[in-house]
Amino acid sequence: MATIRDVAKKAGVSVATVSRALNDKGYVHEDTRKLINKAIQELNYKPNEVARSLYKKKSRLIGLLLPDIRNPFFPELARGVEDTMQEHGFRLIIGNADENPAKELDYIHTFKQNNVIGLISATNQTETSYYESLGFPVVFLDRTSRQHPSVYADGLAGGKMAAQEIVKRGSKRITLLKGPMELKTAQDRFKGAIDELCHSNVNFNVMTTASFTFDDAEKTAQELFDKFPETDGVIAGNDLGAAAILHEALRRGISIPDELQIIGYDDIPLSSLLFPPLSTIRQPAYDMGKEAAKLLIAIINNELIEQKNIQLPVTFIDRQTTRKVEDNG
């Protein structure tokens, strides 16, 4: 790999001159600059970005912090962020906090110490001091925050929509799963659903779930049918949870959607591949990722930001774990 010395030699100038040209500092004659650029191209020289970022205090590196890469919702978010960052010439490195605050803090340090110029975080500690005085902008994704800009989907409307659709389709004894309460997005969708259920003429149970992870989903599914065997409609906290419930119901010989309706949340790619395909509330994960990336780029470029908190709409995806409206009992 070519070094700055090779470039200087080829251009017939000093290393200091090449450095001035590269960093746009100090005077470099236009002809000299041309010689240097020619040498850079011929040698395919790539300046060491760490050294340059120390000098110029600026890299093109962005950090993305995900809470759990095993939940397929987050890779979808990441793809939206990635594609947009790449279009704009930024580079993205990803950290997986694994729903663990210590890992989250450790990644924030790693990103900081490697001179990222911005961070998109979809983890759980949005209100902690972790995100204060980092020296670079932070945008929260699929999360809200009092201090920082954020991009998220409308959880209140999503929860309400899930409850409306399942009630409209005839469930009378509904179990509502309540996701982790430290997440405002989970709170919102729970609040939206429970408001709607309270105003409907149905019985319902609330069951808490410790997390949105895969490991907890299977336990929760078994518990649900043991505790609430009379349930004829489930509003799940996310699609992973809904998939586990669907699986457990079929294993117990419960007919879907005739005896039990299930509505998920997220619309992960595999939801359409389940059998029966999962009805769910779709969060536009890829678009959320894109919007968060665009917002962060605008902040980095010191553009005027009109809207610091961007809420995207959700939609009901009517597949086959819910009945048709006219079929309801």
- Residues 257, 323: contact at Cβ < 8 Å? yes
91, 168, 219, 324: residue in contact with a copy of itself (rule CB under 8 A): 91
Residue 161, CA atoms < 13 Å, CB-side half-sphere: 22
Is there binding between residue 295 and a copy of itself (CB under 8 A)? no
Residue 3 near a copy of itself by CB under 8 A = no
Segment lying near a copy of itself (by CB under 8 A), choices 77-85, 183-191, 300-308, 310-318? 77-85
Whole-number Å distance between alpha carbons of 2 and 208: 59
Q: Is 21 in the site for a copy of itself (CB under 8 A)?
A: no
Q: Is 106 in the site for a copy of itself (CB under 8 A)?
A: yes
Stretch that binds a copy of itself, among 7-15, 71-79, 228-236, 304-312 (CB under 8 A): 71-79
The answer to the question of residue 2 lying near a copy of itself (CB under 8 A) is no
Give me 92's structure tokens. 């993205």
- Site size toward a copy of itself, by CB under 8 A: 48
> Contact, 66 vs 95, CB < 8 A?
yes
Taking the CA atoms of residue 307, residue 194, residue 181 and residue 262 in that order, the dihedral angle to the nearest 10 degrees is -100
DSSP string, 181-222: TT-HHHHHHHHHHHHHHHTSS-EEEEEE-S-SSHHHHHHHHH
Q: What is the DSSP letter of 278?
A: P
Rule CB under 8 A: say whether 53 interacts with a copy of itself. Answer: yes
Amino acid at 142: D
206-265: contacts with a copy of itself (CB under 8 A): 214, 218, 243-244, 246-247, 250
Smaller CB separation from a copy of itself, 28 or 66: 66
Instruction: Name the residue nearer to a copy of itself (CB basis): 18 or 163.
Output: 18
Residue 23 is a binding residue for a copy of itself (CB under 8 A) = no
142 counts as binding a copy of itself under rule CB under 8 A: no
Cα–Cα distances in Å, from 60 out to 48, 53, 93, 293, 297?
12, 9, 11, 13, 11
By the rule CB under 8 A, 275 interacts with a copy of itself: yes
Question: Which tokens in the block code for residue 153?
Answer: 């989907």
Least gap, CB of 197 to a copy of itself (angstroms): 27
Query: Is position 198 an interface residue for a copy of itself (rule: CB under 8 A)?
Result: no
Q: Quote the Cα angle for 103-108-111, to 5°.
A: 120
Q: State the Cα–Cα distance between residues 31 and 39, nearest whole angstrom.
A: 13
Give yes or no for residue 266 binding a copy of itself (CB under 8 A): no
List contacts with a copy of itself (CB under 8 A): 1, 46, 48-51, 53-54, 61, 69-70, 72, 75-76, 78-79, 82, 86, 91-96, 98, 103, 106-107, 109-110, 113-115, 133, 214, 218, 243-244, 246-247, 250, 269-270, 272-275, 277
